[in-house]
Amino acid sequence: MSTPVILAITWAALLGLVGGLMTPIGSWYRDLAKPWFQPPNWAFGPAWTIILGLAGWAAVIAWNAADTSAEQRDVIILFVVNGLCHLAWSPLFFRLQRPDLALIEVVFLWASLVAMVVGLAPISTFAAWLIVPYLAWVSFAALLNAAIVRLNPRGPVAAPVAKA
């Protein structure tokens, strides 16, 4: 197995694993009001597995299609930036219980995906198209996140004030 394939599999597996570990489905999440279009919880794991698998495949295709070391560097930058944006959302939404902050962060995740599609297209049109399901899913997730924020207008929980 080639180094780009190993790195792409590692990238996709780490994003999926860390994202899953940062997504506890506890009572806080179960008690949130959710929109009618909320998929069942079991659907997220398979969806992310397919989406990240396609993105990993796109990374390998783009890397192999790159004509110069500068294009290969661009592929790495696009995937690293996306990975960082991807990893930031779940802790904000689930660990910090801040759907409002996650809604701000999802804009950066979405923008990183648009940058991937635009940046990969000149290198490999096929690789760019493999990112489109990821972009579509994050677009849907952003709508879902916005609906949850709208349906649950509570602000952040204030820390208790210590009495002197």
- DSSP letters of 87-143? HHHHIIIIIS--HHHHHHHHHHHHHHHHHHHHHHTTT-HHHHHHHHHHHHHHHHHHH
Percent over 90 (pLDDT), the chain: 71
153 pLDDT exceeds 90? no
- The pLDDT score that the predictor gives to residue 93 is 94
pLDDT for 121-148, tens place per residue? 999 999 999 999 999 999 999 999 999 9
pLDDT for 36-52, tens place per residue? 999 998 998 899 999 99
- Give the residue-averaged pLDDT of 94-112: 95
For the 3-151 domain, the top CATH level (class) is: mainly alpha
Inter-residue contact 94 to 23 (CB < 8 Å): yes
- The pLDDT score that the predictor gives to residue 86 is 93
162 pLDDT exceeds 90? no
CA gap 141, 9 in Å, rounded: 23
- Which positions ≥6 away from 138 have C-beta within 8 Å? 106, 109, 110, 113
Structure tokens belonging to residue 138:
């994050």
- The pLDDT score that the predictor gives to residue 4 is 76
pLDDT for 53-92, tens place per residue? 999 999 999 999 999 999 999 999 999 999 999 999 999 9
pTM: predicted TM-score of the whole model, two decimal places: 0.86
Averaged pLDDT of the chain: 90
Q: Is the dihedral of CA 161, 158, 92, 38 positive or negative?
A: positive
